[in-house]
Homo-oligomer: A and B are copies of this chain.
Amino acid sequence: MKKVIYIFGLVTLLSVVISCSSTPGNTNEDNNEVSENVEKADPLPSWNEGASKTAIINYINDVTNTDSENFIPLSERIATFDNDGNLWSEQPMYFQLFFAIDRIKALAPQHPEWKTEQPFKAVLDNDIKDLAKQGEHGIIKLVMASHAGNTTDEFEAIVKDWLATAKHPRFNRPYTDLVFQPMLELLDYLRDKDFKTFIVSGGGIEFMRPWVEEVYGIPRDQVIGSTIKTEFVNEDGNAVINRLAELDFIDDKAGKPVGIYRFIGRRPVFASGNSDGDLQMMQYTASNTFKSFMLYVHHTDSVREWAYDRESHIGRLDKGLDEAIEKGWTVIDMKNDWKVIYPFELRELEH
């Protein structure tokens, strides 16, 4: 049951103080045409020149060059990306946990018993310390109450509604604004070179699918994540799938290669993650007989994003960092390698 906690963040992370600060500045999105010519010449315009950018470009040039001994055929060009902390931020807690808490509050009027029943009481009282005391059993109850008990169509509508209205406490922006601009460029670059891009996340698969297509350009069927069980019901020609309050698969740590094999059926040649939860995916990718590329995002920017690694309760990067250094994998230094973190900074720069 220990793994369960991962999906929606460690209980202890609830005690993290949420720092709230709205971001000033111009949010006008109309003028995106500046420097378009420069962008066409450089596949990674939001990346500073340096070892990380050079390593990525050299790798892609090499393996897509038909004259190279490292050439990779099209069908083998599989690139897998962790989501939380790798394609978007994950602080002060996994965004899916914000969703779960908001969902419990929205459902509370239909559940008067929650006023006195844990872990719901703690959520409704905004009592983080009390919630932290509820332990794994409490977290599982929270997840099931917020993610199950509806049809898949209903759940998708709920996620979309939440994303359209909820705002991140620090940036006062929709959560989908907090994706990493340099990683969006990397995804595009890989696809331009005929790589098939996948998400491989510990997060809930159905929490991601409603928005990743639009935000990352990754189709729903290329999203791998943790799942709860479902059942098909057909009543009078109304065929639906119900979401059950039972865990099915945890797509984290050793679960990631298992999920990749189940959904994709071959080893990736390119993998990107930011935590120890991605290490087994990296090892699986490193064992490919084709030349492969392992990329770790190291959160080093305490000003524009967050700085954390070996001691963090969320997205801990400790063993993964050791192995990356030992094996010579590429480690992105967020502070120095990335010109901007979020797309809205890019738009501000362009003014």
Interface size on A, residues (CB 8 A): 40
Please, which residue of chain B has its CB at the minimum distance from the CB of A198? B221
**A234, A262, A266, most chain B CB atoms within 10 A:** A262
A231 with B258: CB separation less than 8 A: yes
Of all chain B residues, the one with the shortest Cβ separation from A280 is: B232
User: Are B222 and A221 interface neighbours, CB within 8 A?
Assistant: yes
For window 71-90 of A, CB contacts with B under 8 Å fall at 75, 78
Given contacts A221-B221, A222-B221, A286-B237, contact A213 B75 (CB under 8 A): yes
Within 8 Å by CB of A287, from B240, B262, B280, B283, lies B240
Q: In the complex, which residues 221-266 of chain A have their Cβ closer than 8 Å to any Cβ of chain B?
A: 221-223, 227, 230-232, 234, 237-241, 254-258, 261-266
Chain B residues contacting A234 (CB-CB under 8 Å) are: 280, 283-284, 287
Cβ–Cβ contact A264 & B232, under 8 A: no
CB-CB under 8 A from A343, the residues of chain B are none
Q: Which of A222, A239, A240, A266 is most buried by chain B, counting CB atoms within 10 A of its CB?
A: A239
A205 sits at the interface (CB 8 A): yes
The interface residues of chain B lying within 8 Å CB-to-CB of A287 are 234, 237-240
Q: Contact check, A221 vs B238: say whether CB atoms are below 8 A apart.
A: no
Contact A261 B221 (CB under 8 A): no
Interface residues of A in 296-314 (CB under 8 A from B): none
Q: Is the CB of A254 within 8 A of B237?
A: no
Kindly state whether residue A206 has any CB partner on chain B within 8 Å: yes
Q: Is the CB of B258 within 8 A of A206?
A: no
Residues of A within 8 A of B (CB): 75, 78, 152, 196, 198, 205-206, 209, 213, 219-223, 227, 230-232, 234, 237-241, 254-258, 261-266, 280, 283-284, 286-287
